[in-house]
Amino acid sequence: MTLLGTFALWAALLLACWSAAIALLGPWQRRPSLAVAVTRGAYAVCGALLVATAALWQGIFAHDFNIEYVWAYTSRNLPTYYLVAGFWAGQKGSLLFWAVILSIFGALAQALTSSRHKHLLPYVAGVTNLVVAFFVAVMLFGHANPFERMAFTPADGRGLNPQLQNPGMVMHPPMLYLGYISITIPFAFAIAALMARRLDTGWIIAMRKWALASWLFLSIGITLGMWWAYVELGWGGVWAWDPVENAPLLAWLTLTAFLHSVMIQEKRGMLKRWNVSLMIGTFLLSIFGTFITRSGVIASVHSFTQSDIGYFFLALLFVSAVLSFTLLYTRWPMLEAEVQLESLLSRESAFLFNNLALVGIAFSVLWGTLFPILSEAVKGTKITVGPPFFDRVNVPLGLFLLLLTGIGPLIAWRKASAANLRRQFIVPLLSGAVSAAALVAVGLRDFYPLVALSLAGFVLGTVAQEFYRGIRARMSLHGEHMLLALAHLIARNRRRYGGYIVHVGIVIYFVAFTGLAFKVKHETVLLPGAVDTIRSPFGHTYTLTHLGVSQYTRLNRHVSVATLEVRLDGERLGTITSEKRQYVDSFDQPTFEPATEIGLRSTLREDLYVVYAGSPDGTEAARYTIMINPLVTWFWIGCGVLTIGGLITMWPGGPQLRTPRRRVVAQAGYAVPLAGVTE
């Protein structure tokens, strides 16, 4: 189906260019029918790319190895679900994946946006189609057409990289892509508002769910990446500050800042310029991340082939930066703030400090990531910075941010007075102090972990108090039962209380990161029957007995598996295995370097993490790296909590005043007394 696929790509390119040109250069303003045609362009491009997607999957599932891409990333003996993943496993396929998802989002933005914001939609279609056109153009003109055929047909494909043959890998890139890609939609709304000169809160209301959705996708994508690195790369950590890991984090940080500061604009009409700039910055960082991932200009332990494709992205980055900021500059006077900051003791200013901290972290990560290039350009020698640099700078900043997470919700919008603050802070401070005292009592003396865990206690105290007082207020104002009050509290203030649940998720991440500071690592060579022990930081002892190494063959690999018997404080828990795998094609020829599968035994408290590093010269002895990683499971739990909170904030159904055919008093949840009006 390569003919149809290539045709669909060309159709998408032409349609996207046409509708983007009309939308952004503007003859539609005087012709309503043209405006309709432009927005139809978003649907048409989506349709064309769906056809191309179907064509590529058809090629993959039909094992049409005459198509270069199918040959390079799949093979006959690949399990079906990895065939699905083969679609985005390579450069070319992932470009198509990117384009089709963006066009789907673009079409959804047209379909789901309320008719009140219709005036923005042709511009939105223009921006999304322009970005889609860019991706399709890279495929067609950057030697990256996934439908390219070869002069001959190989009997079998090269297969999928074994490190990608992991359930996490089926989910991780699409999730991260969904995050990256969906950023384009809020960005398109920002540009549309600037172009239409409609800079009231309309565009923010139209796009805020999109921004939340991108944030959620990015969070899940980043966490899946951590999980994949943890179970697949065999070094027992989740985060290495590698450029490719930093890239999505950058966009995540600025988007987080945006989600907070945008509330100030909605409520107070302040920070309009800052919000538009943050949105533009987030989009540029998402393109920058793609550039880093695909160009190989920055040395990374994630190895890449050098690819010209990166320079297309550099051009896109440059052009979109110049155009967006020029547009922002011409609209600058229209973005005047409506009010000034009323008091330093207000939630507004807590949010502003939170923004500074987030952008500060983003800047330091960007600087550290780019420093090798910058130092080479300025001084002639490359200087790299590694995890020590990022930890040094970001641990204090991260803890400051955690502190603000606890402070912000305690302060009222607009202003607060000192006496009230005392009443607000007692419980959370007490909760933090009790955590600190308890940790010191059990013997924790390290500075940063102590601070981190005490702050975690402080933030949890804040959230608990917010829920408790909210429920109590509803119970006294409405005489509701406690559970009903809780349900109404969350349902009627989804963004606020969903946000608090997200904060709990973030606290859990911090706790899990703190746990990693106490990991125990140990290497050993064991003969069959030999015993080794390792002590967990929680004070108990694992006794491991090497049972032996066995070998067998599976569908697409030869496996050597080493088995350990695990005893915890003398009690037998079972066995744990770690494998060395040699992947082969259907002619039994090795296809990749040997890969390692780690052995993992997870509990809420800690993970036992075993890596079989091979046997010395064919003996039955095995070389092991054994680790105890405390609290790692809490990363995945934190991600779950964060997802639930995020979904609550996004749940459809608008703010309280909107439900029709009910009196305002009934739906507002409590009476709104107007000074000087008696009804």
Partner 1 sequence: MLIEAIAAGVVGAALLWLVLQPLVSPSPLAPVDLDPLDPEETPRGLALIALKEIEFDRATGKLSDDDYAELNARYSAAAIATLDAVSTTVRCLTHGVCPESAARFCPHCGSGLVTEADACVACGVAVPADAMFCPGCGVRVRGE
Partner 2 sequence: MKPGAKFAIGALVIVGGVALMITEGIKQTGTYFMTPTQLVDTATADPHFYNLGLKVSAKVVQGSIKRDNEHQRVDFAVSDGHQSFPVVYVGSLAEIPDTFTDANDIDVVVEGKLGREGTFHATSVIAKCGSKYEAAMPKSGKKA
Find the binding residues for partner 2 in span 328-387 (CB under 8 A). Answer: 340-344, 346, 349, 352-353, 356-357, 360, 363-364, 367-368, 371-372, 375, 381-386
Other CB atoms within a 10 A radius of the CB of residue 113 amount to: 20
Which residue's CB is nearer to partner 2, number 245 or number 466? 245
Helix (H, G, I), strand (E, B) or coil at 67: strand
**Residue 129 and residue 188: Cα distance in Å, rounded?**
10
Among 63, 119, 495, 522, binds partner 1 (CB under 8 A): 119
State yes or no: residue 94 binds partner 2 (CB under 8 A): yes
In angstroms, what is the minimal distance from the CB of 191 to partner 1? Answer: 17
DSSP class of residue 149 equals B
State yes or no: residue 554 binds partner 1 (CB under 8 A): no
* Furthest C-alpha separation in the chain: 92
Amino acid letter, 214? S
Mask 449-468, x = binds partner 1 (CB under 8 A)? Answer: -----------------x--
**Residue 452 and residue 398: Cα distance in Å, rounded?**
9
Which residue's CB is nearer to partner 2, number 188 or number 393? 393
Mask 283-322, x = binds partner 1 (CB under 8 A)? Answer: ----------------------------------------
State yes or no: residue 40 binds partner 1 (CB under 8 A): yes
Which residue's CB is nearer to partner 1, number 387 or number 655? 655
In angstroms, what is the minimal distance from the CB of 674 to partner 1? Answer: 4
List, in order, residues 6 or more apart from 588 with CB less than 8 Å away: none
DSSP class of residue 674 equals P
DSSP class of residue 530 equals -
Find the binding residues for partner 1 in span 469-528 (CB under 8 A). Answer: 469-470, 472-473, 476-477
Find the binding residues for partner 2 in span 212-231 (CB under 8 A). Answer: 225, 228-229
In angstroms, what is the minimal distance from the CB of 206 to partner 2? Answer: 30
Mask 555-584, x = binds partner 2 (CB under 8 A)? Answer: -------------------------x----
In angstroms, what is the minimal distance from the CB of 370 to partner 2? Answer: 12
Find the binding residues for partner 2 in span 506-525 (CB under 8 A). Answer: 523
State yes or no: residue 56 binds partner 1 (CB under 8 A): no
Q: Tell me how many degrees the CA angle 416-420-423 measures, rounded to the nearest 5.
A: 140
Binding partner of 94, given partner 2, partner 1, none, CB within 5-8 angstroms per partner class: partner 2
Mask 328-367, x = binds partner 1 (CB under 8 A)? Answer: ----------------------------------------
List, in order, residues 6 or more apart from 191 with CB less than 8 Å away: 123, 127, 324, 327
Find the binding residues for partner 2 in span 112-171 (CB under 8 A). Answer: 158, 161, 163-164
Among 153, 417, 533, 551, binds partner 1 (CB under 8 A): 417
Decide the pairing of beta strands 557-568 and 520-526: unpaired
In angstroms, what is the minimal distance from the CB of 425 to partner 1? Answer: 11
State yes or no: residue 233 binds partner 2 (CB under 8 A): yes
State yes or no: residue 596 binds partner 2 (CB under 8 A): yes
Q: Counting Cβ atoms within 10 Å, is residue 499 exposed (0-12), middle (13-18) or buried (19+)?
A: buried
In angstroms, what is the minimal distance from the CB of 350 to partner 2? Answer: 11
Find the binding residues for partner 1 in span 625-654 (CB under 8 A). Answer: 654
Which residue's CB is nearer to partner 2, number 237 or number 528? 237
Place of tokens 């159709």: 11
Find the binding residues for partner 2 in span 271-330 (CB under 8 A). Answer: 293-296, 299-305, 307, 309-310
Which residue's CB is nearer to partner 2, number 122 or number 146? 146
In angstroms, what is the minimal distance from the CB of 345 to partner 2? Answer: 9
List, in order, residues 6 or more apart from 21 with CB less than 8 Å away: none
Place of tokens 């057409």: 145
Find the binding residues for partner 2 in span 395-454 (CB under 8 A). Answer: 396-397
In angstroms, what is the minimal distance from the CB of 79 to partner 1? Answer: 29
**Torsion-angle region of residue 74: left (phi > 0), alpha (psi -120 to 50) or beta?**
beta
Distances (CA, A) of 567 to 545, 588, 628: 8, 38, 14
Is residue 505 a contact partner of residue 641, using CB atoms and an 8 Å limit?
yes
Distances (CA, A) of 577 to 146, 559, 596, 609, 652: 39, 12, 11, 10, 46
Binding partner of 381, given partner 1, partner 2, none, CB within 5-8 angstroms per partner class: partner 2
HSE, side-chain direction, 13 A CA sphere, residue 317? 17
Among 266, 391, 532, 565, binds partner 1 (CB under 8 A): 266
Among 151, 378, 419, 442, binds partner 1 (CB under 8 A): 419
Residue 236, phi then psi, degrees to nearest 5 = 75, 15
List, in order, residues 6 or more apart from 278 with CB less than 8 Å away: 254, 257, 258, 261, 355, 359
Find the binding residues for partner 1 in span 89-118 (CB under 8 A). Answer: 114-116, 118
List, in order, residues 6 or more apart from 477 with CB less than 8 Å away: 669, 670, 671
State yes or no: residue 267 binds partner 2 (CB under 8 A): no
State yes or no: residue 88 binds partner 2 (CB under 8 A): yes
Is residue 613 a contact partner of residue 625, using CB atoms and an 8 Å limit?
yes
Instruction: Please name which of 403, 442, 396, 441 lies closest in space to residue 425, comparing C-alpha atoms.
Output: 403
How many residues bind partner 2 (CB under 8 A)? The answer is 85
Stretch that binds partner 2, among 51-59, 103-111, 233-241, 489-497 (CB under 8 A): 233-241
**Residue 42 and residue 107: Cα distance in Å, rounded?**
5
HSE, side-chain direction, 13 A CA sphere, residue 252? 18
Which residue's CB is nearer to partner 2, number 292 or number 631? 292
Which residue's CB is nearer to partner 2, number 106 or number 310? 310
Tokens of 317: 């980055």
Among 10, 43, 389, 467, binds partner 2 (CB under 8 A): 389
Find the binding residues for partner 1 in span 155-214 (CB under 8 A). Answer: 196, 198, 200-202, 205
**Residue 279 and residue 211: Cα distance in Å, rounded?**
9
**Residue 453 and residue 639: Cα distance in Å, rounded?**
18
**Residue 547 and residue 526: Cα distance in Å, rounded?**
9
